[in-house]
Amino acid sequence: MVEIRRTSNVRRRKIANHFTQQVARKEALRLKGLRHKDETVWFGLGMFGIVGWSIAIPTLVGIAFGLWIDRTWPSQYSWVLMCLIMGVLVGCINAAYWVRRVRSKIIEEDEEDDDEQPS
């Protein structure tokens, strides 16, 4: 005769808790997706564009300013190169600030979502 093994109650509860946690995690992900449904691939590409422009604009302004200085007051130093470097630095700082701000906003929203969910 074949012997039938039964799973212990502790193991059964452990499996049920693990399953419940997986379902809760997937449901939270689904709800987050519903809240952010307008953030498509185009939204992400737009964000890349904003970061790119936040570097490009100060760089171009720096080049224009450097050209103006070189034409107005000629010297042995290239103000175009110095202002180009300053523009790139200002642009990178600006982009880092922008990314940090958006990232902190996303983290803040995730923390609020975690607070709303029962444990």
Name the pTM for this structure: 0.62
Average pLDDT, the chain: 85
Other Cβ atoms within 10 Å of 87 Cβ, number: 22
Q: Please compute the mean of the pLDDT values over residues 29-39 and round it to a whole number.
A: 75
Which of 40-44, 58-62, 94-98 shows the highest mean pLDDT? 58-62
Q: What is the pLDDT of residue 115?
A: 67
pLDDT surpassing 90 at residue 9: no
Q: How confident is the model at residue 113 (pLDDT cuts 50, 70, 90)?
A: low
Q: How confident is the model at residue 3 (pLDDT cuts 50, 70, 90)?
A: low
Output the six-digit token pair for 71: 């034409």
Q: What is the DSSP string of 31-66?
A: HHHHHTTT--HHHHHHHHHHHHHHHHHHHHHHHHHH
Contact (CB, 8 A) for 58 and 94: yes
Domain boundaries, the chain: 9-116
Q: What is the DSSP string of 75-119?
A: -SS-HHHHHHHHHHHHHHHHHHHHHHHHHHHHHHHHHHHHHHS--
